[in-house]
Amino acid sequence: MATGTPEPWTRRHAFVALDDRELAAMLRPLFGDRRVESAEPLTGGFVNTNYRVRLAGLDDAFVLRSYVRDAGACQRERDIIARVRGSVPVAEVLYADTRGEVFGRPYAVMRWMEGAALDQLLARPAEADPVALAACLARTLAAIGSFAFPQIGFFGRELAIAESLGSVREFCVNYLESCLFHDKAGERIGPDLTTELWQLVSANAHLLDVLGDSAALVHSDYKGSDLLLRHRLALRRRSPRPTARPAAASPPSGDRPRSCSMS
């Protein structure tokens, strides 16, 4: 049965509580009338609502994600996963109601990926080889960056750039200006360092022009809590080089079925 809710202080948008009846109905297009045996809210994401669900008669677990903040994110995630699958380890999307026609809100069903979050592995240095972890992370990051787009911006329908952010120089300068003078960065580092940093940026911004119009796929949350690894753990006294291999990665959307690679 569905139990518990994530801690509210960790979230940016309200958690959508779903009971077993509602979960079963949302899963019916994919699994028919199978009974929900267990449903556990996942606390990793701060934006959408995620449940780990097990169904009667099936060994696998699944993630049901309800999109709370941005209705277009469901289709966008599905498009990104379809684009990178085969090059970047990502969770398999089994079903998606991208328009929210049935329950009033878009949702997707993904296959659950077993593994350990990177930040948890780094907290147990006796069990994981940092060189192997770094190599895995670098390979996956390079694979994500291998997907090119015509300009910098945010995705719209079918991964077309719906909101352009200008040239590389314009984007970087505008972003730094926003951080220093409109957000908290300038306040935190103080006026003197803010002035020096802005002078450095202004004097050297032209160096970014060498990048031309290059625009590559990026993952905005490529960090320990969002990267999941399937690994063969071995204590160092038993094996000097335990290995790690990517499980799945979440798409760059602000939420994830957490996973080495792109969640």
- Contact between 12 and 69 under an 8 Å Cβ cutoff? The reply is yes
List phi, psi (to 5°) of 209: -65, -20
Q: Which stretch of 16-25, 105-114, 124-133, 174-183 has the lowest confidence by average pLDDT?
A: 124-133
**Amino acid, single-letter form, for residue 179:** C
Domains of the chain: 8-111 (3.30.200.20), 168-211 (no CATH)
- Contact between 186 and 180 under an 8 Å Cβ cutoff? The reply is yes
pTM of the model: 0.76
49-78: pLDDT as tens digits: 999 999 999 999 999 999 988 889 999 999
Torsion, Cα 243 248 250 252, to 10 degrees, reads: 70
199-253: pLDDT as tens digits: 999 999 999 999 887 799 999 888 888 888 875 543 333 333 333 334 444 444 3
pLDDT band at 8 (very low <50, low <70, confident <90, very high): very low
Instruction: Count CB atoms within 10 A of the CB of residue 187.
Output: 11
Q: Which residue has the higher pLDDT, 93 or 253?
A: 93
Tokens 């329908």 belong to 157
